[in-house]
């Protein structure tokens, strides 16, 4: 028998309802946690029957709370939180120029911003993130969170996920961009990139977008990801300006490049970015962010390539995309068996009055309220689909027995017979963290 002080802590959470994207859906409900792992989650009677016969346990009563697993934000820019929410001015090139200016500003304290963004994400109920790191400084800061954060909340568990190191290089700049990327990756604390993770954070690579990265650099990045098992992510088919730049070699993004003194050896390709990058998309396993402006033929192409799509509904609507009365094709993608998950994109695109702008529940609520999307599908997009997109263990975003208990709670009305998850999507309760 282990000594008493070694006995793992056991807690029974009695709640109004519990839900995950697999099998758990119960009301009234309970979750039993032992030593930081789920023992059981589901109907209250069945879970209480699993209480240990001997030894002590704590009971936490949450009679008006729905318990969910922590959510997955498949696309964020933690190092851009210094750019606060601001309305979109209507000029995509100008908007991007402002982001670039912020990134090149030496006075920005990247480490403090990333720590703050991780803290706010955690408090908003996010357990896993796909982050785009503009520099290795962002990657390193995440590796050590919450240990390196003097004001991390008590009991904060590490946020896991993929830190995608970003690269940029068009035309003649591609070779130098690739060499810089390899140098940066080699400097990061990974002994064996094939298998290594640091505190649950995995390394990925992100060529920024088809209007800043050439086809050759995309191809080289795919080869590197295969040699070293780095995850892959890129922004794709986000704006009409991107399509115009890639297809016709002109438009506001070309003007922006010229204003920034960047090379203008840009040739029109006559192709949509997905068609231009068909070969590297097929060769790698990609997380494609946005896909606001795709053609119907792209759905089977993305399915065959086993690509995932991160849809950031608040950010897409912020930019008024896809525009021309068209709707984002997330339903077509899902129908075509493409894995679609949810992301926030940068803080700048979130509403200024959103209390938890780093959270994923506001993204779910946005889609539910706009499209009446099926709540069960939204929960799947916000948990297991996100894990699949990041190539992480899907079970860790569920309440399956033996998985780490990373639990969140949302207030609902226990006397209202409306489905508990639907209530959480209709109301404006903030997400709370349960410290297990």
Residues of this chain that bind Zn ion (CB under 5 A): 345
Torsion of the alpha carbons at 396, 399, 405 and 407, rounded to the nearest 10: 110
Pick 185 or 236: Cβ nearer Zn ion: 236
Pick 345 or 394: Cβ nearer Zn ion: 345
Q: Cβ 402 to Zn ion, closest distance in Å?
A: 34
Burial letters 363-389, b for 16+ CB under 10 A, else e = bbbbbbeeeebebebbbbbbbbbbbbb
Q: Cβ 309 to Zn ion, closest distance in Å?
A: 13
Q: Cβ 206 to Zn ion, closest distance in Å?
A: 9
The encoded tokens of residue 235 equal: 């922004």
Q: Cβ 152 to Zn ion, closest distance in Å?
A: 25
Pick 309 or 421: Cβ nearer Zn ion: 309
Pick 92 or 190: Cβ nearer Zn ion: 92
Q: Cβ 84 to Zn ion, closest distance in Å?
A: 17
Pick 68 or 205: Cβ nearer Zn ion: 205
d(CA 59, CA 13) in angstroms, rounded, equals: 6
Closest Cα to residue 310, out of 236, 370, 371?
236
Q: Which residue is nearest to Zn ion (CB)?
A: 345
Pick 130 or 414: Cβ nearer Zn ion: 130
**Cα–Cα distance list, 314 to 19, 23, 213 (Å):** 24, 29, 25
Q: Cβ 147 to Zn ion, closest distance in Å?
A: 27
Beta bridge partners of 164: 132, 204
Q: Cβ 310 to Zn ion, closest distance in Å?
A: 9
For helices 252-259 and 240-248, the axis angle rounded to 10 degrees is 80
Q: Cβ 263 to Zn ion, closest distance in Å?
A: 24
- In the numeric block, the tokens 């209007």 are attached to 211
Largest CA distance in the chain: 74
Q: How many CA atoms within 13 Å lie on the side-chain side of 313?
A: 24
Q: Cβ 223 to Zn ion, closest distance in Å?
A: 24
Pick 41 or 349: Cβ nearer Zn ion: 349
N-terminal to C-terminal alpha carbon distance within the chain: 24
Q: Cβ 275 to Zn ion, closest distance in Å?
A: 22
Burial letters 120-153, b for 16+ CB under 10 A, else e = bbbbbbbbbbbbbbbebebbbbbbbbbeebeebe
Q: How many CA atoms within 13 Å lie on the side-chain side of 275?
A: 12
d(CA 163, CA 80) in angstroms, rounded, equals: 14
Q: Cβ 343 to Zn ion, closest distance in Å?
A: 8
Answer for the pair 246, 275: CB distance below 8 angstroms, yes or no: no
Neighbour tally for 36: CB within 10 Å: 13
Kindly provide the residue ranges of all beta strands, DSSP E only, lying in 294-371, ordered along the sequence.
Answer: 308-311, 339-342
Q: What angle do CA 69, 432, 379 make, to 5 degrees?
A: 35
Pick 160 or 345: Cβ nearer Zn ion: 345
Pick 35 or 320: Cβ nearer Zn ion: 320
Element (H, E) at 412: none
Q: Is 393 exposed, middle or buried (0-12, 13-18, 19+ CB in 10 A)?
A: middle
Pick 113 or 345: Cβ nearer Zn ion: 345
């Amino acid at each position: 028998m282990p000594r008493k002080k070694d006995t793992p802590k056991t807690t029974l959470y009695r709640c109004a309802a519990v839900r995950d994207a697999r099998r758990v859906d119960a009301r009234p409900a309970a979750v039993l946690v032992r030593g930081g792992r789920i023992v059981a989650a589901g109907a209250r009677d069945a879970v209480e029957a699993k209480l240990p016969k001997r030894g002590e346990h704590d009971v936490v009563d949450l009679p008006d709370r729905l318990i969910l697993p922590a959510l997955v934000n498949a696309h964020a820019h933690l190092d851009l939180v210094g750019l606060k929410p601001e309305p979109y001015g209507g000029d995509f090139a100008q908007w991007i120029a402002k982001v670039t200016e912020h990134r090149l500003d030496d006075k920005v304290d990247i480490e403090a911003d990333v720590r703050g963004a991780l803290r706010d994400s955690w408090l908003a109920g996010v357990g896993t993130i796909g982050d785009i790191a503009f520099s290795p400084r962002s990657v390193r800061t995440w590796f050590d969170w919450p240990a390196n954060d003097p004001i991390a909340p008590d009991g904060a568990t590490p946020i896991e996920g993929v830190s995608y190191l970003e690269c940029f290089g068009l035309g003649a700049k591609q070779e130098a961009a690739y060499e810089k990327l390899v140098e940066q990756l080699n400097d990061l604390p990974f002994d064996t990139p094939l298998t290594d993770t640091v505190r649950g954070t995995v390394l990925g690579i992100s060529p920024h977008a088809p209007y800043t990265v050439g086809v050759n650099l995309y191809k080289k990045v795919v080869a590197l990801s295969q040699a070293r098992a780095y995850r892959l992510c890129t922004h794709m088919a986000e704006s009409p300006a991107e399509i115009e730049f890639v297809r016709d070699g002109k438009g506001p993004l070309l003007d922006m490049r010229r204003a920034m003194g960047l090379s203008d050896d840009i040739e029109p390709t006559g192709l949509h970015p997905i068609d231009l990058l068909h070969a590297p998309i097929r060769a790698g396993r990609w997380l494609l962010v946005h896909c606001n402006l795709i053609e119907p033929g792209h759905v089977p192409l993305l399915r065959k390539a086993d690509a995932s799509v991160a849809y950031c509904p608040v950010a897409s609507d912020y930019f008024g995309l896809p525009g021309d009365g068209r709707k984002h094709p997330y339903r077509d993608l899902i129908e075509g068996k493409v894995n679609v998950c949810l992301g926030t994109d940068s803080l700048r695109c979130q509403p200024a009055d959103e209390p938890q702008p780093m959270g994923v529940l506001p993204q779910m609520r946005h889609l539910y309220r706009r499209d009446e999307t099926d709540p069960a599908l939204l929960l799947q997009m916000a948990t297991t689909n996100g894990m699949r997109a990041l190539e992480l263990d899907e079970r860790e975003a569920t309440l399956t027995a033996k998985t780490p208990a990373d639990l969140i709670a949302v207030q609902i009305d226990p006397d209202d017979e409306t489905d508990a998850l639907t209530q959480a999507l209709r109301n404006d309760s903030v997400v709370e963290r349960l410290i297990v």
